[in-house]
Structures are given as structure tokens and as C-alpha cells.
């Protein structure tokens, strides 16, 4: 561990301690974050034996998802706002600040950012940028057509609050989980068996699209196909660019346009 990592580690430890003390982060999740940091720090080492890396992967993935999703009984993250539903019914959507998910995302972003390998396929930055701008419009257009989303603009204050939480917690964490934990590692594993670059990129893309759909367990009907399209295009942006910033940006734009102007949630 170098000096820079040590400083960031101390800052993170202090932040987590403060969040636990003020009651905004469960102690169990704080301990889990320490485990995520340690596992990710070892996992990123290129010189590790293949089977040791497999073992670390099998520990890191469930722990990271547990930390990001677990809420002890009686605990609630700070609530920013609720979207009211019909009188007498529960709110249809609540925006809370899930600190565990956000911190886990930034931890993995910092520790697992991959170095581009010499044989990896990458398109030009201009093409990646065009894809980043067009993909959200295509996704929203399909969602409106297939799911019948209606015009439902939100107050500016809620739009701004949603933007901050969506970017810094939802989009970064979910894309880092999907791209760094799954897609990139699957690509590296397949590359160890074949030099065919098409197989190295297409197989992980399809598998991770399936995982993306599977983790959205509450969806059904036509929404499954919309989520499949969404997961595929998020993953394709990473396949083309090998840069996590592009799927994060697309994910953010889709979420933000959907929330700001249309029926939300689905």
C-alpha cells in the first residue's frame, strides 16, 4: 500500500466512523465495507495465482452486493423526499441516501480501475461520445413506446436532489459492480482461453446483460425486454470504450430524463 492509498484509507475510515456515529450507516455495513476494501485491494494484484483470484472474486462479489443492499431491521438511510401516491396509500417512490452503496461503489472504482491491455478492442473517443449521447434518447424513446410512460414533470428541487444521489450513489455503484466486477473480469478470463477478440467481448456482454435483467427481479412482461435493452446498451458502451465513464454517463442520463419528466417509477 502506497502513501496515497494510506491517506485515502484513513479519510474513508474517518468518514465511515462519523456516519456510524450519527446513525446514517449501520455498523454491520461499515464492517462489510472494510472487508470489501481489503478483498478488492488484494484482488487487483496481477501477479496473484489464478485460483487465488477466483477465490477472492467469489468472496468479493457477494460481500459487495450485501453491503450495498442490506438494511438492518429498524434502520433507514436519510430520506430526501417521497413521491406521493393516491390518498391513503404508501408513497410510490422514496429517495434515500444509501451511504453504504455509494461508498462501496467509490471503493471499487478506485481500487479496481483496470489498465487497458494491449490486445483489447477500443473504438475512437468520438464514436464513444456519440454513442453516449444517442443511447439515452433511444432507451427513453423505447420505454415511452413500450411501457406507456406519461408526461409527469417533477419540481426543480427534487430533480436536483435526484441528480446528485443518482450520479454519486446509484449510477457509479451499479456500473462499477457490473463492469469491473463482472464484465471486465469475464473478459479477462475468456482472454486467457482464446485470442479471438470478438468472443472476448461478446460473451461477457451477453452474460452481464442477463445478470442485469436477473437482479431487477420485480420486473415482468414488456419491462423485461426494456431492461434487457438497457443492460445491453450500458454494457455495449463499456465494450466499445473500455472506459467506465461512458456507461455511468448513459445510466445517469436515462435515470435523470426518466425521473425529471416522465412517470417514475415504471
Cβ–Cβ under 8 Å, residues 106 and 33: no
Can you give the pLDDT at residue 108? 96
- 145 Cβ contact partners less than 8 Å away, ≥ 6 residues apart: none
- Tell me the three cell numbers of residue 172: 457509479
Q: Which of 115, 112, 110, 114 is nearest to 7 (CA)?
A: 110
Can you give the pLDDT at residue 217? 64
Q: Please, what are the averages of pLDDT over each run of 10 residues along the chain (266 residues)?
A: 83 94 97 96 89 95 96 95 72 92 96 86 95 98 94 96 97 97 94 91 96 81 90 97 97 98 90
Task: Report CA-CA distances (Å) from 185 to 9, 35, 135, 258.
Answer: 25, 20, 24, 31
Can you give the pLDDT at residue 222? 83
Give tens-digit pLDDT for 42-72.
Answer: 999 888 888 999 999 999 999 999 999 999 9
d(CA 77, CA 24): 6
What is the percent of the chain with per-residue pLDDT over 90, rounded to a whole number? 79
d(CA 165, CA 123): 30
Can you give the pLDDT at residue 263? 93
Q: Which of 156, 30, 39 is nearest to 101 (CA)?
A: 30
d(CA 255, CA 249): 10
* DSSP helix, strand, coil percent of the chain (3-state; round to 5): 70, 5, 25
Can you give the pLDDT at residue 155? 95
d(CA 34, CA 38): 6
Can you give the pLDDT at residue 233? 98
Can you give the pLDDT at residue 221? 80
d(CA 39, CA 63): 9
- 6 Cβ contact partners less than 8 Å away, ≥ 6 residues apart: none
Q: Which regions of 42-108 does DSSP assign to beta strands (E)?
A: 79-83, 93-96
| Average pLDDT of the chain to the nearest whole number | 93
The structure's pTM equals 0.94
Amino acid at each position: 500500500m502506497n502513501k496515497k492509498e494510506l491517506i485515502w484509507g484513513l479519510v474513508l475510515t474517518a468518514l465511515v466512523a462519523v456516519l456510524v456515529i450519527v446513525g446514517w450507516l449501520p455498523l454491520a455495513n461499515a464492517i462489510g465495507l472494510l472487508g470489501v476494501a481489503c478483498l478488492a485491494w488484494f484482488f487487483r494484484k496481477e501477479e496473484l495465482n489464478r485460483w487465488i483470484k477466483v477465490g477472492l472474486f467469489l468472496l468479493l462479489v457477494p460481500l459487495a452486493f450485501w453491503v450495498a443492499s442490506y438494511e438492518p431491521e429498524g434502520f433507514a438511510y436519510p430520506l430526501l423526499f417521497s413521491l406521493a401516491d393516491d390518498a391513503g396509500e404508501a408513497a410510490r417512490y422514496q429517495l434515500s441516501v444509501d451511504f453504504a452503496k455509494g461508498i462501496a461503489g467509490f471503493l471499487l472504482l478506485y481500487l479496481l480501475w483496470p489498465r487497458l491491455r494491449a490486445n483489447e478492442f477500443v473504438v475512437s473517443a468520438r464514436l464513444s461520445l456519440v454513442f453516449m449521447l444517442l443511447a439515452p434518447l433511444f432507451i427513453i424513446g423505447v420505454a415511452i413506446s413500450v411501457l406507456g410512460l406519461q408526461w409527469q414533470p417533477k419540481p426543480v428541487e427534487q430533480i436536483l436532489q435526484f441528480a446528485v444521489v443518482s450520479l454519486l450513489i446509484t449510477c457509479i455503484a451499479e456500473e462499477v459492480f457490473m463492469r469491473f466486477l463482472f464484465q471486465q473480469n469475464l473478459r479477462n478470463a475468456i482472454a486467457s482461453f482464446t485470442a479471438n477478440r470478438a468472443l472476448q467481448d461478446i460473451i461477457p456482454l451477453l452474460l452481464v446483460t442477463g445478470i442485469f435483467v436477473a437482479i431487477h427481479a420485480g420486473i415482468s412482461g414488456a419491462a423485461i425486454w426494456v431492461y434487457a435493452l438497457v443492460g445491453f446498451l450500458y454494457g455495449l458502451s463499456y465494450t466499445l470504450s473500455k472506459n467506465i465513464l461512458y456507461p455511468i454517463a448513459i445510466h445517469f442520463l436515462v435515470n435523470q430524463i426518466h425521473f425529471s419528466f416522465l412517470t417514475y417509477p415504471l
